[in-house]
């Protein structure tokens, strides 16, 4: 959904189901916390704006984006309707970026394929810090907002299925 010309926080609010009866889990990476905490803020604000209650939102922190997979797997066991995995991986000078990004993407995909609770991928994979800032509450909005909207829609789908 995100491109250089789109604001991640712009969407049709009237089209989003009421989240009052849903329970959400959010797993947040502590690595690049200035970015991930901004994403978390966007996700929490959006969930609450659409009716989610504080008591129905569980937030766990894990050391890094790689650990999001295990954290999300354990969160799926907590009787939640959807999980949001929040992380930020910024390109460095080594291939570490590629390995972490690929592993996290595949790990979250595997959780979605092999389990019944949807996991929303809210992991920024940016070339530099400025791109991450722009997408975590900066000029391009907040990917956390987008992830929360996806979580509400997927919780609704899971309920209907």
Catalytic residue selected from 61, 96, 106, 140 = 96
Please state, in angstroms and rounded to a whole number, the distance separating the CA atoms of residues 53 and 48: 6
Is residue 96 flagged as an active site residue? Answer: yes
State residue 139 phi and psi, 5-degree precision.
-65, -20
Please state, in angstroms and rounded to a whole number, the distance separating the CA atoms of residues 19 and 72: 20
Q: Where do the DSSP E strands lie in the chain? A: 24-29, 57-62, 82-90, 119-126, 136-138, 141-142
- Enzyme catalytic residues: 96
């Amino acid at each position: 959904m995100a491109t250089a010309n789109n604001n991640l926080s712009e969407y049709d609010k009237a089209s989003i189901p009421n989240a009052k009866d849903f329970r959400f889990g959010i797993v947040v990476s502590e690595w690049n916390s200035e970015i991930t905490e901004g994403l978390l803020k966007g996700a929490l604000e959006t969930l609450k704006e659409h009716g989610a209650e504080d008591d129905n939102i569980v937030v766990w922190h894990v050391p890094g984006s790689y650990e999001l997979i295990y954290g999300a797997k354990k969160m799926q066991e907590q009787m939640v309707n959807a999980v949001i995995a929040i992380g930020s991986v910024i390109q460095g000078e080594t291939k570490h970026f590629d390995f972490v990004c690929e592993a996290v993407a595949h790990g979250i995909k595997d959780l979605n394929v092999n389990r019944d609770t949807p996991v929303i991928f809210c992991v920024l994979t940016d070339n530099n810090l400025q791109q991450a800032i722009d997408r975590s509450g900066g000029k391009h909005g907040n990917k956390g907002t987008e992830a929360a909207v996806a979580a509400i829609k997927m919780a609704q789908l899971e309920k209907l299925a």
